[in-house]
Each structure stands twice: as structure tokens, then as C-alpha cells.
Chain A
């Protein structure tokens, strides 16, 4: 177990270093002088000189990289070219929105996906399975941002059940907050739900035909108990695995969903930054996403080894 943890920690640290290098090099691949890009409107020679000195652009590359890492580690992502506010304070307001949206989406997707997956496996060959399968295929194929668009047009605007856009912070008014974020979370969760459903179904089919389930049935356990006590435990692993694997898709999906519903999160900040050529923000967004991905996946692996004892022993997912 300790060896597995150490290996994973070392691998994550290495990936983190590599992705930082990629972002660092990527910024230097921007067209033109980085000082010009960072300067924004004020392009006087003095301002450019000050920027070069502040960012160490006159130093050799390895030195620049070390300085960059040092600044980032202290939470200094520079200053937005457009608004002049520090990128770190923009992140502090934007991130909670995205985290709430994603967590809620994962929760909804897990409930729907596991439920439909178990139903499909238990009702094998019946209309319920066919229906659940069809729904999952559609969930995989539908463009979520389009669903969001239709939901706004035909649900929010037409019926007024949900607000079409806007956001209220969770701590300010939890009920109103939920009212604003539940529809985007459902939309964001559909694709994830479809993947969880398909994985749950096939994991359930495997475990329903396994020896320990046959034993449980043979000793007279009621079918419902067999499903909930034995087979369902495995679906926890499925959910954790799928969330780990689909994290990238979830982050991408959150960006689009926020854009459609006008949620002031990380995604909206990203898209605005691209169109305003706000390079310090883009750089911070890319680096932060990579870091989040690596760190979360490390914890997913830890969780994984807690849920599935086989991994603790062999060091490999079975």
C-alpha cells in the first residue's frame, strides 16, 4: 500500500512538473513579444522594461522558469490585462461557482446513472432495459450545450420555472442559489450519467453472474438484498472510476454550461479571457486545470484503493 502511494505520488508530481513546463513553453510560443502581450494597453518603452524586469524576461529560460514556479506557488498568477485585477482574486470568486456546479452534476449523474444501470441489469431483456439503454445512447450523443439551450428556451423562458441565467452565491441565499444552479447541473450531468449507466450495467451483469452472488442466492438471500448488499457495492467503484476518467470532459462541459447559463464561473472567465487575449488569465486557467486534474486523479486513485482492497495488495486495478 505504502509503495503504491509513493509511486502514485511521484508520478503525479512528475506530471505536474511536465505540465507546468508545457504551460511555460506555451506562453513563450505566443505570437510576438510576451512583454507586449502582458502589457495590454500601456506599451510605452518604460512599461515594457518594467514588465520584462518584473517577469524576469531578460533572464535565461531556466531562471525564468524557476521564478515562474516560485510566483505560481505563492498564488501569484499576475494581473489581468483587461481589468487590472489580480488573477488570483478573479479565481477566488469564479472557482466556487464551478466547483458547486460540478459537484452537483456528479451527484445527479451518479444517482441517475447507477439507478438506470442497476435497473437495466436486473430487468435484462425487458422493455425497462431497452429503454435505459436507448436513453444512455442518446445521453452519449446529444450535445449538452444544445440541451441547455433548449432548456432555457422551452423551460426557463416559456414556463418561468427556472431562471434563464444569473447566479446567487450559495452563502447569500442557499435556496435561490440552488434554483439557479440545478438546471445547469442536470444538463452538465447528462453525459456523465450515460457513461456511468453503461459501466454500471456491465459491472452489474458481471457480478450478477459471479460465484459470490450465486452463493448469496443459494443461501436464500432475497433478490433485493443480493443486489443491494453485494452487487451494488461494486457500482461505487464504477462511479469513482468514471468520474476520474471523465474529469477532463466534465471540466470542458462546465466551461460550456457556464457560458450558456451565464454562470460567473471558471469557464466563463476562460472564454472571456480567450476573446480578450488576456494572456495572464489564460495561462492561469490552463495551469490550474492541469493541476486540478492531476491532484483530483491522485485522490481518486487513493479512494479507489480504499474501496477496492485488491488494489492495495497488487498495486494494480483488477
Chain B
């Protein structure tokens, strides 16, 4: 009997919890602003192939290094006379792609390992050593190794960043699993004869989603910054494909002729990362059961 009512109680709790979280988010102006920025960025990224005024590869050698405000090129042109606005739009799209791909990689590997480490005592030590091992290779070194073995590309950059983010995912999922495992409704399910897999999938994972969500929102901006670094160094997206990081590398090369070219791609990277970080903070505060403690 208890076993029947407990899951229902849990569901009821999560519904009111969800509305409470959403209400808190709506009342936080920073959360609203960052959400709007992210929604706009996502829309531009999705539609950029159609929104961009020029093709990203369209060169115009008669008009290289046109400053921002030039007729026909709102944000100017680069060293090959390509439209900067178009390249920024598609560069931002690539940034978001790498961000999502990297975080997806880290979640696919990290969530099951975190659940296992928290739930099965025997696995904990093994998974901890695995985490230590991953941590010993910083993302840039991981990317250096991957680039040496498989060549530099958007995919390899995302994988390198994603692998480097696995330990963080394991850590938060493991500790939340430990917490949930000690709660009554899990014990009730176990007494009722539910299998470990069922308990993990049905009871623990759904209740751990909020920490996973918060972890993902802080991991995406880190991945976006990581992609910019790798592409800047030539270890990420390869020219002529547009990337904010490679735009900055070009800007450094031609800094004497076009110093303004170093400004905008950086501002866009920072804007994206900032919006994710602000929203992540707001989400964490909204999910915090202690309520108004900021």
C-alpha cells in the first residue's frame, strides 16, 4: 500500500515543485533577460543559413578590411573581403553546436557512471579512478592528443571538451544518487522487490534531473569558451569554415590594419557564455529548496 501511494506523492510533489521553480524563474529579471538572449541566439543560429546577408565563403578582394558601418557590410569585411556579420552568425551557430555536442557527450557517459558510482558501492572505487584519470588530461591536452591522432575538426574539439567534462557530471550525479538512495521512497521500492535498474531509472534518475540540468547549463558556456580557444589555436574548426575563435586568430594576424576585427567575435562569445552562466545561476537558485538564499 505504501509502495503504491509513495510514487504518487512523489509525482504530486514534483508538479508543484516545477510550477514553483518556473514561477521563481519568471520573477527573476536576470533569468528572463538571459533566457530571451539565449532564445534569440538559438533562433539566429538555427536560421543563420537563411538570415546571413552573404554566403560565408563569398570573397571580395576589392573590399578587404572594410570597417563596420560600410554600406552593404554592416559589420565590415575581413582579410578576404568576406562579410563579418554573416561569418559571426554562422560562427555563433558553430559555437552552440560544439557546446551542445560536448555537453551531450559528457552526459551520455557521465550520467550512467555517476548513477552507478552512487548506487553500487563496489563500482565507486573503479569509477573514481576513471574520474581521476580523465582529470589528469586537461581539455587542451586532450584536444592536442586527439588532434595528433585524428586531426583537428569541430567534432574532435567537441569530443575532447566533452570528455574533459565527464568528471564534473559524474561528481554531481554520484552525490545526488547517494542522497536519493538514502530516502524512504527508494527504500520502499527496494523492499517492494524492484530491481536495481528499475529503481535507478524510475526513482533516482528522474529526481536527479535538476542537478543534471544545472550542471549542463554551466558546462555549455565552458564548452563554448573551449571551442573558441581550440579554434583560435587551430585545433578546432578548420578554416574556411566560420568560427568565432578562428576569426580572432585572423584578427590577431592583421591587428595593425584592422584592430576592430578583434572586438566583435569576442563580444559574441562572451555574450553567449554570459547568458548561459546567468541563466544557470538563476536556475540553481530557483531549484534551491532553501528558497530565497542567493
Residues of A within 8 A of B (CB): 11, 14-15, 18-19, 22, 26, 29-31, 137-138, 140-143, 145-146, 149-150, 152-154, 157, 247-249, 251-252, 255-256, 259-260, 270-271, 274-275, 277, 279, 282, 285-286, 289-290, 293-294, 297
**CB < 8 Å: which of B147, B148, B164, B273 contacts A248?**
B164
- Minimum CB distance partner of A146 in chain B: B266
Chain B contacts for A30, CB-based, 8 A? 148-149
Chain A contacts for B185, CB-based, 8 A? none
Q: How far does the alpha carbon of A315 sit from the alpha carbon of B214 in the complex, in Å? A: 29
Interface residues on B, range: 35 or more
Whether A290 lies near B235 (C-beta < 8 A) is no
Question: Is residue B201 within 8 Å, beta carbon to beta carbon, of the partner chain?
Answer: no
Q: How far does the alpha carbon of A235 sit from the alpha carbon of B200 in the complex, in Å? A: 37
Whether B225 lies near A255 (C-beta < 8 A) is no
Q: How far does the alpha carbon of A208 sit from the alpha carbon of B149 in the complex, in Å? A: 51
Q: A153-B262, A248-B164 are in contact. Are A293 and B138 (CB under 8 A)?
A: yes
Whether A149 lies near B278 (C-beta < 8 A) is no
Q: How far does the alpha carbon of A239 sit from the alpha carbon of B191 in the complex, in Å? A: 44
B220, chain A: closest CB distance, angstroms: 11
CB-defined interface of B131-152 with A at 8 Å, one 1/0 digit per residue?
0110111111100110111000
Question: Is residue B96 within 8 Å, beta carbon to beta carbon, of the partner chain?
Answer: no
Whether A140 lies near B147 (C-beta < 8 A) is no
Q: Which of B54-62, B101-109, B248-256 contacts A (4 or more CB under 8 A)?
A: B248-256
Chain A contacts for B149, CB-based, 8 A? 26, 29-31
Whether B136 lies near A145 (C-beta < 8 A) is no
**CB < 8 Å: which of A138, A255, A275, A294 contacts B140?**
A255
Whether A293 lies near B135 (C-beta < 8 A) is yes
- Minimum CB distance partner of B30 in chain A: A137
- Minimum CB distance partner of A147 in chain B: B266
B163, chain A: closest CB distance, angstroms: 12
A300, chain B: closest CB distance, angstroms: 12
Chain B contacts for A152, CB-based, 8 A? 255
Q: A15-B133, A30-B149, A149-B262 are in contact. Are A289 and B138 (CB under 8 A)?
A: yes
**CB < 8 Å: which of B129, B140, B274, B278 contacts A252?**
B140
A8, chain B: closest CB distance, angstroms: 11
19 more contacts with CB within 8 A, not counting A143-B266, A293-B137, A294-B132, are A15-B129, A15-B133, A140-B273, A142-B270, A146-B262, A146-B266, A146-B269, A149-B251, A157-B255, A248-B139, A251-B138, A251-B140, A251-B141, A252-B141, A274-B144, A274-B147, A277-B148, A289-B138, A293-B135
Question: Is residue B155 within 8 Å, beta carbon to beta carbon, of the partner chain?
Answer: no
What are some 15 contacts across the A-B interface (CB < 8 A)? A19-B133, A26-B149, A145-B232, A145-B248, A146-B248, A146-B270, A153-B262, A157-B255, A256-B233, A260-B252, A271-B233, A282-B144, A282-B148, A294-B132, A297-B135
**CB < 8 Å: which of A137, A142, A149, A294 contacts B252?**
A149
**CB < 8 Å: which of A18, A26, A149, A249 contacts B133?**
A18
Q: A252-B141, A274-B144 are in contact. Are A15 and B136 (CB under 8 A)?
A: yes
B129, chain A: closest CB distance, angstroms: 6
A311, chain B: closest CB distance, angstroms: 17
Q: How far does the alpha carbon of A289 sit from the alpha carbon of B129 in the complex, in Å? A: 17
Chain B contacts for A11, CB-based, 8 A? 128-129, 132
Question: Is residue B277 within 8 Å, beta carbon to beta carbon, of the partner chain?
Answer: yes
Whether B270 lies near A285 (C-beta < 8 A) is no
Q: How far does the alpha carbon of A297 sit from the alpha carbon of B136 in the complex, in Å? A: 10
Whether B148 lies near A141 (C-beta < 8 A) is no
CB-defined interface of B263-285 with A at 8 Å, one 1/0 digit per residue?
10110011001101110010000
Q: A29-B149, A31-B149 are in contact. Are A289 and B262 (CB under 8 A)?
A: no
Whether A143 lies near B137 (C-beta < 8 A) is no
Chain A contacts for B164, CB-based, 8 A? 248
Whether B259 lies near A153 (C-beta < 8 A) is yes
Name the interface residues of B216-242: CB closer than 8 Å to any CB of A. Answer: 221, 225, 228-229, 232-235
Whether B277 lies near A141 (C-beta < 8 A) is yes
Whether B248 lies near A14 (C-beta < 8 A) is no
- Minimum CB distance partner of A157 in chain B: B255
Q: How far does the alpha carbon of A15 sit from the alpha carbon of B137 in the complex, in Å? A: 11
**CB < 8 Å: which of B136, B248, B259, B263 contacts A290?**
B136
Q: How far does the alpha carbon of A117 sit from the alpha carbon of B109 in the complex, in Å? A: 34
B255, chain A: closest CB distance, angstroms: 6
Chain A contacts for B273, CB-based, 8 A? 140-143
Q: How far does the alpha carbon of A270 sit from the alpha carbon of B145 in the complex, in Å? A: 10
Whether A14 lies near B138 (C-beta < 8 A) is no
Q: How far does the alpha carbon of A286 sit from the alpha carbon of B133 in the complex, in Å? A: 13
Chain B contacts for A259, CB-based, 8 A? 233
A76, chain B: closest CB distance, angstroms: 20
Whether B235 lies near A141 (C-beta < 8 A) is no
Q: How far does the alpha carbon of A142 sit from the alpha carbon of B269 in the complex, in Å? A: 7
Q: A140-B221, A255-B140 are in contact. Are A18 and B248 (CB under 8 A)?
A: no
- Minimum CB distance partner of B276 in chain A: A141
The 8 closest A-B pairs by CB, nearest first: A248-B138, A252-B140, A146-B266, A141-B273, A141-B274, A290-B136, A15-B132, A252-B138
Chain B contacts for A247, CB-based, 8 A? 138
Whether A143 lies near B135 (C-beta < 8 A) is no
Q: How far does the alpha carbon of A37 sit from the alpha carbon of B85 in the complex, in Å? A: 42
Q: How far does the alpha carbon of A19 sit from the alpha carbon of B221 in the complex, in Å? A: 28
Q: A137-B274, A141-B221, A248-B135 are in contact. Are A274 and B235 (CB under 8 A)?
A: yes
Whether A19 lies near B233 (C-beta < 8 A) is no
Q: How far does the alpha carbon of A11 sit from the alpha carbon of B135 in the complex, in Å? A: 13
Whether B137 lies near A290 (C-beta < 8 A) is yes
Name the interface residues of B100-133: CB closer than 8 Å to any CB of A. Answer: 128-129, 132-133
